[in-house]
Chain A
Amino acid sequence: MLLRLAPWILISVLVVPLAAGLLMVILPAFGYLPVLGGETFHFDAWQALWQRPGLYRSILLSYASGLITTLVALAIVALFLAASRGTWLDRGIRRLVSPLLAIPHAAVAFGLAFLIAPSGLFVRWVSPGLTGWERPPDALIVNDPLGLSLMAGLVLKEVPFLLLMCLAALPQLDPERRVTLARSLGYSANIAWLKSVFPVLYPLIRLPVYAVIAYATSVVDMAMILGPTLPPTLSVSILGWFNDPDLDHRYMASAGAVLQLGVTLAALLTWWLGEQCVKRVSQGWLINGARNTGSMAIAVGGRLLLTTTTLLAISAIGGLVIFSVAGFWRFPDALPGTFTLDHWQRILPSVTTPLLNTLSVGLAATLSAAVMVVATLENAVRHHLPVSRSQWLLYLPLIVPQVAFLFGLVVAAESINVRPQMALVIAAHLLFVAPYLYLSLSEAYRRLDPRWMQAAHSLGASPWRAFWQVRLPLLLAPLLTACAVSLAVSIGQYLPTLLLGGGRVPTITTEAVAMASGGNRRLIAVLALLQALLPFIGFSLALLIPRLAWAKRRQMRGVA
Chain B
Amino acid sequence: MLKPCHTRRLASIAPLLALALPAVAAPDPSDWQSVLAQAEGQTVYWNAWGGEARTNAYIEWVAQQVDERYGIELVHVKLGDTSEAVSRVLAEKQAGNDDAGSVDMIWINGENFAAMKDNDLLFGPWAESLPNYPLTDPDNTPAVRYDWTIPVEGLESPWSSSQVVFYYDTALVEEPPDNMPELLDWAAQNPGEFTYPQVPNFLGNAFITQALLELSDNTEVFYAPMQEDEFDEATAPLWAYLDELHPHLWRSGRAFPSNSADLRSLMGDSEISIALSFSTTEASGAIANYELPDTVRSYVHDSGMIGNISFMAIPYNAEHKAGAMVVANYLMSPEAQAEKQDPEVWGSNTVLSMEQLSAEERALFDDIDLGIATLPPSELGKVLGQPHPSWVDALAEAWQTRYVN
Contact = CB atoms under 8 A, between A and B. Distances in A.
A binds B: yes
Contacts of B191: 138
Interface string A346-376: 1100100000000000000000000000000
A517 B81 contact: yes
Contact of A506 (B78, B93, B112, B393): B78
B62 to A, nearest CB: 14
Contacts of A340: 290
B78 A511 contact: yes
A510 to B, nearest CB: 7
Contacts of B57: 346
Contact of A518 (B53, B114, B254, B255): B53
A132 interface: no
Interface stretch (B96-104, B335-343, B349-357, B369-377): B96-104
Interface in A92-134: 117-119
A198 interface: no
Contacts of B259: 517, 519
Say what secondary structure dominates the interface of chain A.
loop
B101 to A, nearest CB: 9
A136 B270 contact: yes
Interface string A37-70: 0000000000000000110010000000000000
Q: Interface residues of B toward A: which range?
A: 35 or more
A427 interface: no
B215 interface: no
B227 interface: no
Given A245-B110, A327-B290, A504 B250 contact: no
A224 B86 contact: no
Interface string A321-346: 00000111111000010101010001
A301 interface: no
Contacts of B102: 419-420, 502-504
B92 A517 contact: no
A3 B102 CA distance: 38
Nearest to B289: A520
A307 interface: no
Given A138-B191, A350-B60, A519 B270 contact: no
B279 to A, nearest CB: 11
A106 to B, nearest CB: 12
Interface string B258-270: 1111101110111
20 contacts: A34-B94, A35-B90, A117-B269, A119-B271, A135-B271, A139-B251, A240-B200, A243-B81, A243-B87, A244-B200, A328-B292, A328-B293, A329-B290, A330-B270, A414-B95, A419-B102, A502-B45, A502-B88, A515-B53, A520-B261
Interface of A: 33-36, 53-54, 57, 117-119, 135-136, 138-140, 143-145, 224, 228-231, 240, 242-247, 250, 326-331, 336, 338, 340, 342, 346-347, 350, 407, 410-415, 417, 419-420, 498-499, 502-504, 506, 510-511, 513-523
Interface of B: 45, 47, 49-53, 56-57, 60, 75, 77-81, 83-88, 90-97, 100, 102-103, 110-112, 114-115, 118-119, 191-192, 198, 200, 250-252, 254-256, 258-262, 264-266, 268-271, 289-294, 389, 393, 400-401, 403-405
The 6 A-B pairs with the shortest beta carbon distances in the complex, nearest first, are A519-B261, A518-B51, A414-B95, A245-B111, A119-B269, A503-B77
Given A245-B112, A414-B92, A506-B77, 9 more contacts: A245-B111, A245-B389, A346-B57, A347-B53, A414-B91, A414-B94, A420-B102, A515-B50, A517-B51
